Structure 1
Amino acid sequence: MGLFMMSTRCCDEVAMRTLKIALIGFFLITLNMLMPIQIGHAAVEVQELYQARVSVENQTANERNDALKTAFTNTLLKVSGDDAVLRHESVQLALQNVRNFVVQYGYQQDGEQLLLWVQFDQPQIDRVIQQANSGVWSSRRPELLFWIVAEDENLERRILGSGDDWPVIKELISAAETRGLPVKLPLLDLNDSMSLSVVDLWARFEDRITFASSRYDADGVVVARLYQADSAISDDDWMLDWTMQLGGMRWRGEVTAMQPEQLGNMLVADVTQQLSQRFRIGSNAAMAGTWRIKVRELTEFMDVLYAEKLLLELPSVSRVQLIQYGEHEAEFELFIQTDAAQIMQAIDLSKPFTPVNPERRSEFEMPVYRWSQS
């Protein structure tokens, strides 16, 4: 009798757990499109990833056809972050038939400027990028704070901020919008002047830069120095070198140009190329399958919703299923079309997912993350 009661109790527990998972799954489906993501200060969700706006002189067919090609190339750059795709044969072929990729288009008036607005077909854009041996960069991208110190012809240096009308700043903002890179520029108010000096930036004193940057709550920091190039090492007149810090990762690079304003566009292109190379995800049918992860410290029901939603937004993830949930820990199964290692890199970019023992992770071991919205 005692054994029978124990067995019944176990069955009841299993039934309750199954019911609990089923209920959570039901609410995930029901509320998935109703609840917005609230993830604190994680990477920014880039909107209109498959849309583009291009300035035009008029609404003639020739002008429209040229603008559609420009919008197409800009969209490929924004989605992939990879300049190399534009040189691929598949993209050159697609440029001859741009209209096949267009969902809709129209004209918009921005002050005195006429714009052609284009919406492209997402699956087709993704397919062209994958055919070009590249990948899709998730719409959730790190927001970067740009500290730029410029040295003019008289060797005088100054920090450039959001209120400056220098052409290099205008080009930086325009290029960032085109490429879907969330950026911030310092206010250069009294707080900044008390925290950071031109010397601190030029010498890249990391502790001072980190302290001054903390008020902007950005995901990463770029420090760039603009100056006249040495004719012995460059044929161009101007040079810009940069460093970028994003979490524990570091990048550096340099670009040159004949005119200083060109360096704003080139800086953004260089930065996005480095970032997307790490975080974009390609599709690989040979590696398609299922992959599981655990997420701990999901203390509230809404946390489960947000976690599931973030995972589903990753490129090459076609479906996410909650396998089990209990004691503030959830196990998710992801249906993926690429290498699991690429998915892990993309998850690492999102602040709510903190890897547990990342140095021990492998494709044969289920990754474990800690959920945190702080």
Structure 2
Amino acid sequence: MVRHWWLILIACWSFSLSADEVTDLYESRIEVATQSRDDRQDALREAFSSVLIKVSGQRDVLERPEVSRQLSQATNYLVQYSYVTERQQLYLRAQFDEQRIEELLRRANASYWSARRPNIIFWIAQETQRGARLIGRDADSEIVPAMRRQAHQRGLPISFPLLDLTDLSNLSASDVWGRFERPVQEASRRYPSDGLVMVRVQEGDNGQGYLAQWTLIVGNTRRSGQVDTEDLNGIGMAVVDSVTDRVAAEYAVSYSETEASEFTIRIINLQDLESVLLVESLLRRLASVEQATLARYHQGTAEFRLQLIGDMRRALQALELDNRMQRVEDPWSVTASPVLEYRWLR
């Protein structure tokens, strides 16, 4: 009976999403020349492909046989479409069915990346004739707008530093160019980000094209890579693509991981019903959580049983993106507790 009332309350409850909640995960906008049937069909296929990449987090998802067979059937997954004109350019805007997309990814044993995603701040140093210079949010450079467009296309929340007096007093272009972690991490603390990328951009050999080397730090993960393209616009897009692939590899849930697991999580400092409902809803929304069940609640402490897809690590990574959750660790404990404990900070 108690469980029945919990379900009713949860169904009626809604809560505000964080800044890192991607709101248009199942939507795409494609340039079209006309509103003809042929142009519409081509645009819907392109929009469908774009959404599949965005939801899975991986560009190679379109190569999976089950997905590839469905690309010509975009209308079977379509919820609605419309046309919009901006700056004399006609666009087709398409929205696809969330449940059907996820079912397709599951059948294809692909990955699924939920709407809650880490916000990554990009620190960029570009080589010039006078040495390296920092490129921030308002810089006159092709790189930043290219990165913004591609990040929106991939569903990765990103930001750029202001490069005001506070930033410039804490680090220099040489810190970013050398990819020195400590000063860049310190400078990032003032921004609401979950991770950072240090990028250095320079001309290619013999002045042909451009080369960018990047280092990603998010959670306990550190990854590096490099890309080269003909122009700065391409560099911005390529860096974001590479970084998004790596972030998705850490946070997306792979449906090919057949191993299921279950564990219990304890949340303290839940002083009222509203907080309990918020936490249960948050747990249910984690990509790797198949089911979240309230097992016990007493004097501000709740225990939830979670059934997972894959291992526990990915669930905890996603959970700890929420700054309202603080891991509780007892330094005096001599044995590891079988129940993970978090404090609710809201």
Short-chain TM bin:
0.7 to 0.9
Cα distance in 1 for residues equivalent to 2:150 and 2:17: 28
Give the letter for the 1:193 counterpart: L
Instruction: Tell me, in whole angstroms, the C-alpha distance in 2 between the residues paired with 1:98 and 1:277.
Output: 26
CA RMSD after TM alignment: 2.9
Overall identity of the aligned pairs, in %: 32
Query: Rg bigger for which structure?
Result: 1
What's the CA shift string for 1:117-162, capped at 9, x where partnerless?
111111221122233332111111111111111114x364221111
Distance in 2 (alpha carbons) for counterparts of 1:78 and 1:351: 24
Partner Cα distance (2:287, 2:309) in 1: 9
Answer whether contact 2:84 2:91 (CA < 8 A) is retained: yes
Cα drift, residue 288 of structure 1: 5.4
Residues 204, 286 of structure 1: CA spacing in aligned structure 2 closer, same or farther, 3 A cutoff?
A: closer
- Within a 5 Å distance, the mapping from 1:311-326 to structure 2 comes to 311-326=283-298
Q: TM-score, normalised by structure 1?
A: 0.81
Query: Which one-letter code corresponds to 2:278 in the other structure?
Result: Y
Structure 1 unaligned blocks of 5 or more: 1-18, 359-364
CA contact (8 A) 1:355 1:367 kept: no
- What is the letter of the counterpart of residue 54 of structure 1? I
Equivalent runs, 1:1-374 vs 2, <5 Å: 22=2, 26=5, 29-30=8-9, 32-37=11-16, 44-152=20-128, 154=129, 156-230=131-205, 237-283=209-255, 287=259, 291-356=263-328, 366-373=338-345
Question: Secondary structure of 2:111's match?
Answer: coil
For structure 2, the 5+ residue unaligned runs are 331-336
More divergent stretch after superposition (278-287 vs 241-250): 278-287
| CA apart distance, 1:196 | 2.2
Aligned 8 A contact 1:151 1:226 in 2: yes
The number of residue pairs the alignment matches comes to: 341
**Larger deviation: 122-131 or 143-152?**
122-131
Aligned to 2:275, the other structure's residue is in SS state helix
Question: Which SS does the other structure have where 1:310 is aligned?
Answer: helix
Change (3 A) 1:372 1:202: farther
Partners of 1:352 and 1:266 in 2: how far apart?
A: 33
- Paired residues of 2:268 and 2:344 also in contact (CA < 8 A): no
Q: Which has the higher contact order (CA 8 A, sep 6+)?
A: 1
Mark the CA change 1:197 to 1:316 in structure 2 (over 3 Å): closer, same or farther.
closer
Contact 2:44 2:74 in 1 (8 A): yes
